[in-house]
Chain A
Amino acid sequence: MHEFSLCEGIIDAITAQTCQQGFSRVRRVWLEIGALANVELDALRFAFEVVREDTIAASAELDIITLPGRAWCLNCAQTIAVGELYDPCPLCGGYQWRLTGGNEMRIKELEVE
């Protein structure tokens, strides 16, 4: 359940912005999570509801944008879609590919007041 740690990271990052950006309440948080990231989205949503209590984001909604898994296949010399880290290339069936997207864990944007 490292989703709790991730949520603490999210709340810390938001709290660090309050002074600098001058807001008193967070209404919405947009996250970008890669489809292959080591995160269980339901657990993340659950953890966020717990961790946000008594913080500036106590009533914040969580919006999760899933980013697709993408890789560069060395055999095919082109970008391919991958669903899992152990998927073969859909074009050549090989495993000689390097992940180029899909493991992101980012706080994209906040809506504040």
Chain B
Amino acid sequence: MCATCGCGETEPVIHPHDHAPDHAHPHQHDHAHDTRRISLEQDILAKNAGFAASNRRLFVEQGVLALNLVSSPGSGKTALLSRTVQILRDEFPVAVIGGDQQTANDAERIIAAGAPAVQINTGKGCHLDAHGIGHALERLALPKGGVLFIENVGNLVCPADFDLGEAAKVVILSVTEGEDKPLKYPNMFAAAKLMLLNKTDLLPHVEFDVDRCLDYARRVNRELDILQLSARTGEGMEPWLEWLRRGRHDALIQQINQLEADLAAARSRLIHGGGAIRRTVI
């Protein structure tokens, strides 16, 4: 059993009902098959939401801006991240969790770019989940006061539903893909806070209507921030880096607010919870 969350190694553990029946409901029924209805009203993703909340608490405690990067395969996520961490690693701590079905190639590219990285191989899984992120953090030191990039599995469908505890989803679309992807995969574009239109250096060579693409994206999510860049040439990188610096600044503010709230709560307990008595004992 793992220490982080009490999970079994790989299979879900169904606990046998062998403890003393000390709770109120009767275990022996008068007739064998009485049926009844139980109202649950529970979100299907409640378990993932619980793990995501733990991750989010940890990120706030450590002043970490955590971002969930999502896209189709081949949109240039790893190239973008390599270039990004090369620049930012001199300003504040950065680290990367990469998700792919197989291989550690992406993590190796990030490490070569100078940032700590771990790879999660999802095997047949099509998305990262909050539980897997918790375990990845056992192998990767949190970039305290910096930015944690979580590079999700290349897939615009499934990762939309799985909160990892991130501050924001960043969806990356490249101009070599269809401009109508925001309409084809609306859940993802609706869930994202920022869209990066990548590989803009290739615009002269492809038929891609930027204005139409941005219009589609804003139909699905009118609050979406949109930046255009080329990770290859570096054009447009600066607004993205500024977006990250602002986000990191906000994460630090959030950490300070949390620390101040904790401090106020501790002081309040000292005053109202018998602090004076303890002092006389000492």
Contacts and interface: CB of A to CB of B under 8 A. Distances in A.
Given A13-B44, A109-B38, A5 B127 contact: yes
Interface residues of B, number: 44
B12 A12 contact: yes
B35 A111 contact: yes
Interface residues of A, number: 40
A9 B162 contact: no
B37 interface: yes
B91 interface: no
A59 interface: no
Tell me if A's interface is mostly helix, strand, loop or mixed.
Answer: mixed
B34 interface: yes
Given A17-B40, A84-B186, A9 B219 contact: no
Interface in B187-213: 187, 189-190
Nearest to A15: B14
A12 B161 CA distance: 17
B272 interface: no
Interface string A20-31: 111100010001
Nearest to B40: A107
A112 B25 CA distance: 14
Nearest to A26: B38
A62 interface: no
Interface stretch (B45-53, B110-118, B239-247): B45-53
A22 B220 CA distance: 45
9 contacts: A1-B126, A5-B162, A9-B44, A9-B47, A38-B157, A55-B14, A106-B43, A112-B37, A113-B35
Interface of A: 1-2, 5-6, 8-13, 15, 17-23, 27, 31, 36-38, 55, 84-86, 88, 95-96, 99, 105-113
